[in-house]
Structure 1
């Protein structure tokens, strides 16, 4: 059995009925070239033959009695692929709008914890919209829990599930699989005890968790009286940082990757990721203008960084760092802003050293981390004071060659990410076959007029292209302020000081 890391487990503890913690994907396939439509039964057989590509497909959670520690991944001896699949037919004239509405409803539902944490809906009767007219197609709506994967490994797993040839390959028989015996309650209990002896902070986590039900009100009351470390919460107030509902919507915009690369070439010493962040910053600035909202300081993004080893890759779990990044939205020139974003990024310690997120979760066990996040939401810190950051932005490089499923070509994919209270918008950028898709996962009850976003992305790109053509060689290269440079380090330092002080008192 393999125990979840603190970071993986925190996604379990953060989940609620209105805040499901899974990563979603909507994959559109062009089936017009197939001699016969791909039947759902054929897809099931195909998927059976590829379950071996990642252990997560046949592993479920094993909880520790009395929550004495983090859960384990164990083989599901009762695994049945049918419990993870569904079939929907949109009829003879299924449109993309109908598909996206269906996907939003499906992605609002949390995954069931009594089985491996994934689910795929096969959508038939779907018509692909193309310049040549509508074509026969089908779609997959995929849910994978964030406790099992991050955005980078999820993209890798989907790449392994699909094929690189347009010629349908014979579906092989599933590889033999013998589930390992599930550990007994006694063994799990003893293992939890051994883990707590190795990591004394887990004792504090356990005590905190046991007392949570009776002391949360007292904690909230005391925290209301304490002055919050406001220098840490330097992100401005924004409409994205409000209490959310269970409603979800995915709004996407598709761009030519070559246009972004041309901007990168024009600006010189910046990365393609900087250009993507600059495009997001310009889009969000224009959105705020449509809502007659002006922020005095620049928006702050939380940007995950993969720390996966290129030589030893683990297909599951979260292997990422994160940094808080000033998006320089106070800079009026959208091209100079990209250079400033680059400076802000390279001056950030996690960017230089790719520090794993375990730096935080070693200091704060997952139960305390999740409780802190819940209190951050319940105390409405983002609304009453200032948010820690305004929006997460993840850029996931995808394959630049076409992928297929039994001869049907993958023509488009959309991706979603989890939301929780005070976080009503997440941006996931995914590239595939010369295209970049900006995916906005949002709560429509928080982000009003969200249908404006695709047009704003288009206008933003045009504005950046025009500004890049006129930008001087030094514009945007000015030294950023000290507060911008040390935002992440200040947060980490504060958390380290807080926990170390607690440990000193604990020793006494």
Structure 2
């Protein structure tokens, strides 16, 4: 048995009817060069022959009695690949708009918990739009639960399932697989008890390490005299932070990586990730202005960061850290904003290293995290007070060489991420073959006119390119005029305000 980490388990407990916690993908394949169309039965045989490269595809959850501990991954003795596959033929409606509407509906549905947490829909009759005209193609709509993977490992899994050669290979027979016996309830109960006995020691060790690294980061801050990270719950109100429904929409658009790299080279001291974040920031700023929701305060993004390494590498699970990042949307110059974003990211480094997301969730049990998140939603904290952050933005580097499935070339992919109560928009940027795809997963009942993001992306990129040409060498690198504040003062001020608010309510 392999137990879920606290971070992995939290995605299970956060799931509700309106917030399915799976990562989605829509993969478009060009089948015009195939001698025969790829039949669904061929795809099933191909996938069956590749199951051994992704063990989680045949593992399901084993819950602990009375929820005394986190669930385990165990082999599914009743595994049947047919329970995880579906076939749809678009027929005469095989346009990309129809495919994306179908994908949105499929991605709204939560995965069933009585089986391995994945599902693939094979979409036939799909016509690829090409400069030379329509081409025959097909698509895959993939759902993988966030408890099993993060955005980075999800990209790795698809890379393992696909091929790197355009020549269709003979499909081998599936490797023999004998599921390990399902553990008895008694064994699971005993294992949960043993884990509970170890918890106090783990808590003490983690608390000490977290305090030590946080203190080191604080000293580093004071020495450098740089602004502290953003205080909690100070992100501005935005239309992205409204109560959401079960409806989902995926809007995607592409830009050339070469254009982004040219901006990076011109600005010199920034990373490609800074440029991507700067592009997202400009798109969001323009969207708010179009919607007449402009704010005089900068938007705040939560940016997940992979903490995988060669020595701590698992095939699945969530291995992420995260930081809150000021997107500098109050800076009018979009090129100078990229430099400010870079500086803000560098400033956050000591605290990003202090407590990675997986260690933080070990300090706080996943059930407590889930309860806190539910209360955050049900008490409408994001509506009544300022939100912790406005939206997550994830940048996932993808392969720059073409991938194939039985000779059909993967030409484009769209990726979705889970939405959360009071979090109606998520941006996932994925690169593939010299192109960057910006994917906007949104709740249309909270974020109106999602199609506007497509045009705004091109406008924003052109605006950044024009601003780079006239940018001064130091513009955007200036430090804020306000003096820095100690972390202790910041926490004391926050607690003082909280207590004053509580006393006022008590007096009433």
TM-score (norm 2): 0.89
Per-residue deviation, residues 231-269 of structure 1 (Å, max 9, x unmatched): 511100000000000000000110000000000000011
The answer for the alignment partner of 1:219 in structure 2 is none
Corresponding residue of 2:216: none
CA-to-aligned-CA distance 1:117-148 (integer Å, 9 cap, x gap):
00000000000001111000000000000000
1:41 aligned onto 2:41: yes
- In the other structure, the counterpart of 1:425 is 425
Quick check: 2:322–2:357 contact (8 Å CA) kept in 1? Answer: yes
Distance 1:9 1:480, change over 3 A: farther
Which range moved further: 243-252 or 347-356? Answer: 347-356
Provide the residue aligned with 2:296 in structure 1: 296
Instruction: Map 1:490-501; keep pairs closer than 5 Å.
Output: none
CA RMSD of aligned residues (A): 2.2
Residue 61 of structure 2 contacts residue 116 of structure 2 at CA under 8 Å; is this kept in 1? yes
Deviation digits for residues 283-303 of structure 1, max 9, x if unmatched? 000000001112121000000
Determine whether 1:128 maps to 2:107. Answer: no
Report the Cα distance in structure 2 between the residues aligned to 1:465 and 1:64, rounded to whole angstroms. 55
CA distance in 2, matches of 1:484, 1:131: 55
Structure 1 partner of 2:100: 100
State the alpha-carbon separation in 2 of the partners of residues 471 and 336 from structure 1.
7
What do the CA deviations read for 1:353-402 (whole angstroms, capped 9, x no partner)?
Answer: 38521231122110001111111111111110100000100000000000
Tell me: CA distance 1:199–1:332, structure 2 relative to 1, closer, same or farther (3 Å).
same
Give the structure 2 partner of residue 15 of structure 1.
Answer: 15
How many angstroms apart in 2 are the aligned matches of 1:429 and 1:363?
30
Which residue does 2:83 correspond to in 1?
83
- Residue 243 of structure 2 corresponds to residue 243 of structure 1: yes
d(CA) in 1 for partners of 2:480, 2:138: 49
Q: Which secondary structure state, in structure 2, belongs to the residue aligned with residue 423 of structure 1?
A: coil
- Give the aligned partner of residue 359 of structure 2: 359
What is the DSSP-based 3-state SS (H/G/I as helix, E as strand, rest coil) of the residue aligned with 1:450?
coil
Distance 1:133 1:415 in 2: 25
For 1:220, the equivalent position in structure 2 comes to: none
CA shift digits 1:450-501 (9 cap, x unpaired): 11110000000000000011111101111247799989x979x999xx9xxx
Aligned counterpart, 1:213: none
CA contact (8 A) 2:7 2:362 kept: no
Distance 2:16 2:426 in 1: 18
SS for the counterpart of 1:280 is: helix
Does residue 51 (structure 1) correspond to residue 83 (structure 2)? The answer is no
Q: Is the alpha carbon distance of 1:69 and 1:494 closer, same or farther for their aligned partners in structure 2, counting shifts above 3 Å? A: farther
CA distance in 2, matches of 1:461, 1:194: 55
* 8 Å contact from structure 2 (residues 323, 352) kept in 1: no
Matched-pair contact (CA < 8 Å) for 1:323–1:350: no
Q: Deviations along 1:168-210, whole A, 9 cap, x unmatched?
A: 011111111111111100000011011111114999xxxxxxx
Q: Is 1:454–2:454 an aligned residue pair?
A: yes
Question: What number of residue pairs does the alignment pair up?
Answer: 468
Q: What is aligned with 1:153?
A: 153
Structure-1 separation of matches of 2:150 and 2:482: 32
Which structure 1 residue ranges, 5 or more long, are not aligned?
A: 204-229, 499-508
Partner of 2:413, secondary structure, is strand
**8 A contact 1:125–1:138 mirrored in 2:** yes
Higher mean displacement: 86-95 or 439-448: 86-95
Consecutive unaligned residues of structure 2, counting only runs of 5 or more, are 204-229, 499-508
Q: Distance in 1 between matches of 2:201 and 2:368?
A: 10
1:219-368 residue pairs with structure 2 within 5 A?
231-349=231-349, 353=353, 355-368=355-368
What CA distance in whole angstroms lies between the structure 1 residues aligned with 2:22 and 2:38? 27
2 CA distance for matches of 1:55 and 1:424?
Answer: 33
Give the SS at the match of 1:393.
Answer: strand
